[in-house]
Chains A and B, each alone.
Chain A
Amino acid sequence: MTTEQRTLRVLIAKPGLDGHDRGAKVVARALRDAGMEVIYTGIRQTPQMIAEAALQEDVDVVGLSILSGAHLEIFPRVTAELKARGIDDVLLFCGGIIPEADIPAIKEMGFQAVFGPGTDTNEIIAFLREHAPERD
């Protein structure tokens, strides 16, 4: 390990068909300003594209933003694609328009946090710093 603190690499992706990327961009920028390297892949990402990007970029964290309401359909496909590539140690989080009632199911899928509209970006930064996986 180097003596300096490891630079966290975060993939921010928008799965599905909605084009509302404001939230994803605000989060990406906040994480950049907190010293993280953010790979932003843009809108309309398939689960395969997200998992493949996570693999190639060797990220510590994957954040998904979704406002279409299709999270319960798409998120399990993303986690399945990650798993198929042997990626089992990234920190998963999500944001967007996600009803309270769906949060337990999403956590069950392996997402450690759900950040809804109005979340203070400092809260997200602190969460990622605390929960990002250790590496050798």
Chain B
Amino acid sequence: MLSELAAGIVAGDRRALARAISHVEADTAKGRELLADLYPRTGRAQTIGITGSAGAGKSTLVAALAREERKRGRTVGIIAVDPSSPFSHGAILGDRIRMQDLTADGGVFMRSMASRGNLGGLAEMASGVVDVMDAAGFDVVIVETVGAGQDEVEVATATQSTVLVANPGGGDEVQSMKAGLMEIAQIMVVNKADLAGADTAVMQLRGLLAIAEHRAWIPPFLKAIARTGDGVPELVDAIDQHQEHVRTSEHAEAERRGLAEAQILSLVRAALYREALAAARADGAIDALVSEVAARRRDPRSAATSLVDAVRDRWAVR
């Protein structure tokens, strides 16, 4: 038996979907129960991650992608992640500004999400929201993230097809991405391709990939102008091809398992970290260590080791 909320989502009730996402986002008991209920109904949607540095044109590209998917008769769920302020934990979520025309389209559901601090929980939340939208029956679910840092690399585990958005003239920026994002992106797009240097940017990306290990899926390199929609049909074609690969190629099973493993590990990492932090803070153990390390009476590595030992002892007692 599905709960009332889960049943509402499956039946296409948009209000129930919106409420459910809030529960998943806040990681409430209801949210967890919901995800357990809904998971067997997921797996049908194409799930797509769009990542790249701030200003690369991700929001505009997501809007253009959604329009093209709609032209092809598919319904679209969008999750746009923006950073929370590390000071106030508040956020201004402005991605709807570039997606105004989509708000009136009943075949589109767009949700803004704040990253809400750094407990490794961003991927955790995003993958949960992707699952809820998948279960709600959207044909395509797109996640847009700020492409900087480990957290965002982990968000790639929330989706099957990850698209990396770069710009002409961003050579240095592309360099800095190679460590993480190049490995996890299955499609590369140079956006704003009407600016000078688009071909150079494509070449740079190709060059970086050449030094990466050989994989079953060879990432295509595309050019697009999200603002006008140029190159967007080709991008959707490339995503469709990757989805085909993920679902039906001889590597499909291995890739599904790889994604499942990455998801589980990222959830474990987040959960363990949260628990360990709570345990370390509970009796003020961390404060004493911080004072010692700050005064250089003790090195941070041994402090970390003793903290981990203390946490482990706590857990053993429990």
With a cutoff of 8 Å between Cβ atoms, the chain A residues found around residue B94 in the complex are 39-40, 42
Given contacts A49-B104, A57-B111, contact A38 B90 (CB under 8 A): yes
Name the 3 nearest CB pairs between A and B, nearest first: A32-B90, A58-B18, A42-B97
How far, in angstroms, from A34 to B14 measured CA to CA in the complex? 29
Could you tell me if A37 and B90 are in contact, using CB atoms closer than 8 angstroms? Answer: yes
Chain A interface extent, by class: 20 to 34
Residue of B nearest to A36 (CB): B90
The stretch of A1-9, A63-71, A98-106, A116-124 in contact with B is: A1-9
Given contacts A32-B85, A49-B104, contact A1 B14 (CB under 8 A): no
The answer to whether A55 has its CB under 8 Å from any CB of chain B is yes
Could you tell me if B89 and A33 are in contact, using CB atoms closer than 8 angstroms? Answer: no
How far, in angstroms, from A35 to B88 measured CA to CA in the complex? 5
How far, in angstroms, from A99 to B82 measured CA to CA in the complex? 37
Could you tell me if B28 and A2 are in contact, using CB atoms closer than 8 angstroms? Answer: yes
Could you tell me if B15 and A7 are in contact, using CB atoms closer than 8 angstroms? Answer: no
Residue of B nearest to A4 (CB): B26
Residue of A nearest to B106 (CB): A52
With a cutoff of 8 Å between Cβ atoms, the chain B residues found around residue A45 in the complex are 100
- Chain A residues proximal to chain B, CB less than 8 Å: 1-2, 6-7, 9, 28-29, 31-42, 45-46, 48-49, 52-53, 55-58, 85-87
* From A2, A28, A56, A85, residue with most partner B Cβ within 10 Å: A56
Could you tell me if B103 and A37 are in contact, using CB atoms closer than 8 angstroms? Answer: no
With a cutoff of 8 Å between Cβ atoms, the chain A residues found around residue B91 in the complex are 32, 37-38
Contact for B27 among A2, A29, A56, A87, CB less than 8 A? A2
Given contacts A2-B27, A32-B88, contact A37 B100 (CB under 8 A): no
Could you tell me if B97 and A40 are in contact, using CB atoms closer than 8 angstroms? Answer: yes
Query: Chain B: interface secondary structure?
Result: mixed
- Chain B residues proximal to chain A, CB less than 8 Å: 14-15, 18-19, 21-22, 26-28, 84-85, 87-94, 96-97, 100, 103-104, 109-112, 114, 116
How far, in angstroms, from A25 to B28 measured CA to CA in the complex? 31
Q: How far is the CB of A66 from chain B (nearest CB, A)?
A: 18
With a cutoff of 8 Å between Cβ atoms, the chain B residues found around residue A34 in the complex are 88, 90
With a cutoff of 8 Å between Cβ atoms, the chain B residues found around residue A58 in the complex are 18-19, 21-22
With a cutoff of 8 Å between Cβ atoms, the chain A residues found around residue B85 in the complex are 32-33
Could you tell me if A32 and B103 are in contact, using CB atoms closer than 8 angstroms? Answer: no
With a cutoff of 8 Å between Cβ atoms, the chain A residues found around residue B22 in the complex are 9, 58
How far, in angstroms, from A49 to B21 measured CA to CA in the complex? 20
Could you tell me if A49 and B103 are in contact, using CB atoms closer than 8 angstroms? Answer: yes
Could you tell me if B104 and A37 are in contact, using CB atoms closer than 8 angstroms? Answer: no
With a cutoff of 8 Å between Cβ atoms, the chain B residues found around residue A57 in the complex are 18, 93, 111-112
Could you tell me if A37 and B93 are in contact, using CB atoms closer than 8 angstroms? Answer: yes
With a cutoff of 8 Å between Cβ atoms, the chain B residues found around residue A31 in the complex are 90
Besides the contacts A34-B90, A40-B94, A58-B18, what 17 more A-B pairs have beta carbons closer than 8 Å?
A32-B91, A32-B92, A33-B90, A36-B90, A37-B84, A41-B97, A41-B100, A42-B94, A49-B103, A53-B96, A53-B103, A55-B15, A56-B14, A56-B109, A57-B111, A58-B22, A85-B15
Could you tell me if B90 and A49 are in contact, using CB atoms closer than 8 angstroms? Answer: no
How far, in angstroms, from A57 to B97 measured CA to CA in the complex? 14
* From B21, B91, B116, residue with most partner A Cβ within 10 Å: B91
Could you tell me if A6 and B26 are in contact, using CB atoms closer than 8 angstroms? Answer: yes
Could you tell me if B100 and A42 are in contact, using CB atoms closer than 8 angstroms? Answer: yes
Q: How far is the CB of B25 from chain A (nearest CB, A)?
A: 9
With a cutoff of 8 Å between Cβ atoms, the chain A residues found around residue B97 in the complex are 40-42
Could you tell me if A38 and B93 are in contact, using CB atoms closer than 8 angstroms? Answer: yes
How far, in angstroms, from A57 to B19 measured CA to CA in the complex? 9
* From A37, A41, A49, residue with most partner B Cβ within 10 Å: A37
How far, in angstroms, from A6 to B14 measured CA to CA in the complex? 22
* From B15, B92, B114, residue with most partner A Cβ within 10 Å: B92
